[in-house]
Amino acid sequence: MTITKGQGATRQRTADAGGDTSDQLAGIIAENIRSFRLRHGLSVEALARLSGTDQTTLQEIESSRGRPNIATLWTIAKALDVPFSSLISRGSSGGTAVIRRRDSKPLASRDGRFTSRALFPLEGDRQAEFYELRLAPGTDEEAGAHAIGTTENILVGRGTVDIVTGDGEYRLEEGDSIQFDADVPHAYRNVGADEAVLYLVMTYIL
């Protein structure tokens, strides 16, 4: 939709984590991994070795036959030395983006107890990313070290969680927030009886 005011214009487009179907998101991921891999001069076998990903799994992801879980995407992004969002994004068209919850396709952990939904348009390069994280009761999600200089800022929207950083473990209640260096292994733990909802802003040094 385009609304023109004088000589200026405001453009609104629908975007989501994705506003695409699951198949379309899998296609975007496949295309990006293949593009970055070839740009680095890596074979599928070499990238599988660097990322610690099973070669067959990587081949399925690149052919859009498999939708990777969060942990696999993180290890591939780290091996390729690119931001996580680079694997799930496409070229930017600018303008105003509306991200509809009903259209979102969150990425999940292997057991499905931890999900991550992008709250930013999956387009273009960026130095900051915004996610909604959901953890089922009792979930203990470990995250590997991100790229050097990566910082996470987390706000607890609901529940009680322990956040394990490089310098300790911190108990957070609803409304609490924490910022920490995420270029070391860290973890999110739901220690409450109900689902926990976190809002994560991640920043990179590009």
Question: Are the CB atoms for 202 and 155 separated by under 8 Å?
Answer: no
Amino acid present at 2 = T
93 and 1 in a common domain: yes
Residue 119 lies in a domain: no
Mean pLDDT, to the nearest integer, of 78-93? 79
Q: Are residues 82 and 143 in the same domain?
A: no
Condensed to tens digits (0 to 9), the pLDDT of residues 6-65 reads 333 333 444 433 344 567 778 888 999 999 999 999 999 999 999 999 999 999 999 988
Domain endpoint, select from 103, 137, 172? 103
pLDDT at 33: 94
pLDDT of residue 12: 41
Structure confidence by residue, pLDDT tens digits, 126-173: 788 899 999 999 999 999 888 889 999 999 999 999 999 999 999 999
pLDDT of residue 190: 98
**Is 4 contained in some domain?**
yes
Q: Same domain for 142 and 194?
A: yes
Residue 60: its pLDDT value, please?
92
Q: Is residue 27 part of a domain?
A: yes
Number of domains in the chain: 2
Question: Residue 54: left if φ>0, alpha if ψ -120 to 50, beta else—which one?
Answer: beta
pLDDT in tens, 87-131: 887 765 567 778 788 877 788 998 999 999 988 876 666 788 899
The helix or strand, by DSSP H or E, that contains position 56, with its residue range, turns out to be: helix 55-62
Reported as a pLDDT band with limits 50, 70 and 90, residue 2 is very low
Which of 40, 68, 103 is the endpoint of a domain?
A: 103
How far apart are alpha carbons 174 and 151 in whole angstroms?
Answer: 21
83/2 same-domain check: yes
CA-CA distance, 86 to 66, in Å (whole number)?
A: 18
- pLDDT given at position 205: 78
**Does residue 98 sit in the same domain as residue 147?**
no
Let me know if residue 135 belongs to a domain: yes
Last residue of a domain, one of 70, 103, 136: 103
Q: Which domain holds residue 182?
A: 127-203
